[in-house]
Amino acid sequence: MSAVLEQIFQVGFVAAIIRIATPLALATLGEMLSERSGVLNLGIEGIMLLSAMTGFMGAYYSGNLWTGILVAALTGALFAALHAALTVILGVSQHVCGIGITLLCTGLAYFFFRLSFTDSSHPATIESFRTIAIPILSDVPVLGPALFNQFALTYLTVLLIPLLGFLLYRTPWGLNLRMAGENPRAADAAGVNVVATRFWAVTFGGALMGVAGAFLSMAQFNSFTFGVISGRGWIAIALVVFGRWDPWRCAGAALLFACVDALQLRLQAAGITHIPYEVFLALPFVFTILAMAVMSRDAAAPPALLRPFRKEER
């Protein structure tokens, strides 16, 4: 027990929670925007994987990490726009299209990565993002090194949460987006272009998913592997429900999942050998299932979620 407590009560444990939560928060916020507009994007897992690959390749060939982030964001936006074109404009089933996008992106990631890097015995690597210490704040005892010595993308994610909260609840753009997901007929009658609103919400959400994938291959790690996402896209969909389609709550849900994930890593590091390590690996996912079972009972999804909008139908 003392070894477990020693692993938990460390500055590194809090710092690890923040790092693990960053890509989850980005992906969850992207999925939340899509669903608030009325479109479920099940392509998130594949979009994150392909974006992690293209972002890595962009940084590898250009030598600039931010170029890789831009490439990843554009990749996510492109395939999210494809999903929006099929579901919003053509009215294709959102479930079927999302699964198809995931399969397509996964296949493309495998194909282009193997095509670009044929020597599997020497995996390609890049100089990953480095943490940035904020002067004065990072010198605060205990929490300073954990909270204020993070990646630049982590700081941007923290700023994005209140920004999305403000845009969603305090601007006409946010009102239009919420109306498109709650009552598209009323939104259309009020002069809102429901199709365009949904299309751009899904596309921007895809860009955030792309950056989330790139974070894993360019900040948390310095290389791309096919298991780099490891189901985080599916977890993000569950966290949207857990966070009740609200930016602050979704970020909190991502932080809570990251806490459980960081805990299982610390439990493994504590040298607990009488419990199979697979049990620790499954712990965050079991927690997510249990949280979903509890929170989904009275979770009020956007009323028009999964419902295609056709202007000609009344």
Domain annotation covers residue 306: no
- CA dist 27 and 205 (Å) reads 8
What are the φ/ψ torsions at residue 48 (nearest 5 degrees)?
-65, -40
- CA dist 163 and 122 (Å) reads 42
pTM for the predicted model, two decimal places: 0.92
Name residues whose C-beta falls within 8 Å of residue 172's C-beta, 6 or more positions apart in sequence.
none
Average pLDDT estimate for 155-184? 95
Domain annotation covers residue 124: no
What are the φ/ψ torsions at residue 19 (nearest 5 degrees)?
-65, -45
Domain annotation covers residue 150: yes
- CA dist 46 and 213 (Å) reads 10
Q: Which of 174-178, 214-218, 258-262 has the lowest mean pLDDT?
A: 258-262
Supply the DSSP symbol for 93: -
Average pLDDT estimate for 256-274? 75
Domain annotation covers residue 18: yes
Res 113 pLDDT > 60 = yes
Structural domain harbouring 59 = 2-118+146-295
217-252 CB burial, b ≥16 within 10 A, e <16 = bbbbbbebeeebbeebbbbbbbbbbbbbbbbebbbb
CATH of the domain at 64: 1.10.3470
Supply the DSSP symbol for 134: P
CB burial of residue 113 (10 Å; 0-12, 13-18, 19+): buried
Q: With DSSP H G I counted as helix, E B as strand and the rest as coil, what are the percentages for the chain, rounded to 5?
A: 70, 0, 25
Res 127 pLDDT > 70 = yes
Residue-wise pLDDT for 191-214, tens only, equals: 999 999 999 999 999 999 999 999
Tell me the two tokens of residue 3.
């070894």
Helices (H) and strands (E) in the chain, counts: 13, 2
What pLDDT sits at residue 10? 62
Residue 279 zone, left/alpha/beta (φ > 0; ψ -120 to 50; rest): alpha
Domain annotation covers residue 68: yes
Tell me the two tokens of residue 178.
């919420």
Res 272 pLDDT > 70 = no
Please name which of 285, 301, 291 lies closest in space to residue 94, comparing C-alpha atoms. 301
Res 270 pLDDT > 80 = no
- Report the C-alpha dihedral over residues 242, 182, 305, 83, rounded to 10 degrees: -110
Is the Cα torsion angle 14, 17, 18, 20 positive or negative in sign?
positive
Per the structure, the count of domains in the chain is: 1
Domain annotation covers residue 311: no
Domain annotation covers residue 303: no
Domain annotation covers residue 309: no
